[in-house]
Amino acid sequence: MSALVATDLHMGYTSGKLRTEVLRGLSLSVEAGHLTLIAGPSGCGKSTLLSILSGLQRPDAGSVVALGEDLWRGDRRALDRFRLQHTGFVFQGFNLFPALTALEQVMLPLGYMGVDDRTAAERSRATLEEVGLGERMQLLPAELSGGEKQRVAIARALVKQPQLFFADEPTSALDAANGQIVIDTLRRIAHEHGTAVLCVSHDPRLVTHADRVLEMEDGAILNDRRVPHAEHAPARETAS
C-alpha cells in the first residue's frame, strides 16, 4: 500500500481579477522505502504540492490520504497531531534556534510528543551519531557549517521516527560536498528506515540518487520515471 496518495489536487491564487492556477488536477502516490524527487522549473507548483502533501496547506479541491488517513477530513488539531507523530519536514533555511545546542534542537519535538528527557536525550544522541554529528552535538548553530546545520535539521525530523519525511530544497544553500552528504543521508533514511521520503529540489545530483523522479510543469506531472540503478537496502526497525 502507498504511504501517501493524492487525488485530483487543485490549488490557485487570486490577485485582484487575476486567477493563477498552481495545481491542475494533480494525482500521485508515494511509496515507503523510496526517495522520491519532485523536479521542475521555478513556479511549476513543486513547493505548493509539498506543502499540501505534508499538511501545511489545504488544497482548493482534491484529497490527500496519508498512512490511510484523510488529512483534510478532520479538524486542525487532529491534523497537527498527525503531523507531529508521523511526519518530518526539512526546510531550505534550517530553522534552528540560535541559543540551543545541536542536541537540544533534536530533543525539542520529542518533548512535544511526551517523551521523557532521558529517553529523548538518548534517542537524540543516537540520531545525531547517525547523521555524522556525534562530535558536534554540544555546539550552537553559529559554530556549525551550513551542511552541519542542515544535518541537525534532518536529525530533528528523523528523531521522531516518522513514516513520512518531506524535504524542500534541502541542498540549495550548501556547497557541493555538504550537499552530497545531505543527499546520501536522505537516501539512507528511505532505504534503511523504510521511510517515504519526498523531496523537492533543483539539484541535478538528486536525480541520480532518487529512486523515482516526478517531473512537474505548469501544475501537472508530465513524467514519472523510476531510476533503474537505484539500489535498495532492506528496511530496518529504528530503536525507540
Q: What gap in Å lies between CA 176 and CA 77, rounded to an integer?
A: 40
Containing 162, the helix (H) or strand (E) segment is none
pLDDT at 7: 97
Q: What is the CATH number of domain 4-226?
A: 3.40.50.300
**Cβ contact 78:128 at 8 Å:** no
pLDDT at 1: 65
Decide if pLDDT at 235 tops 80: no
Question: Which three three-digit cell numbers place residue 175?
Answer: 556547497
Residue % of the chain over a pLDDT of 70: 95
Give me the mean pLDDT over the 93-116 stretch: 95
pLDDT at 41: 86
Torsions phi, psi for 101 (to 5 deg): -70, 170
Residue % of the chain over a pLDDT of 90: 72
pLDDT at 42: 84
Name every residue whose Cβ is closer than 8 Å to that of residue 160 and which is 6 or more positions away in sequence: 84, 85, 88, 109, 110, 113
Decide if pLDDT at 118 tops 70: yes
Domain ranges in the chain are 4-226
Neighbours of 12 (CB within 10 A): 15
Q: What gap in Å lies between CA 54 and CA 228, rounded to an integer?
A: 27
Give me the mean pLDDT over the 40-64 stretch: 92
* Type of residue found at 40: G
Torsions phi, psi for 110 (to 5 deg): -70, -30
Q: Is 9 helix (H, G, I), strand (E, B) or coil?
A: strand
Give me the mean pLDDT over the 217-233 stretch: 77
The sheet carrying 18-30 orders its strands as 18-30, 4-15, 61-66, 69-70
pTM of structure: 0.90
Instruction: For the chain, give the number of residues.
Output: 240
Decide if pLDDT at 169 tops 60: yes
Decide if pLDDT at 219 tops 70: yes
pLDDT at 54: 94
Decide if pLDDT at 221 tops 70: yes
Chain centroid to CA 159: how far? 13
Give me the mean pLDDT over the 147-168 stretch: 96
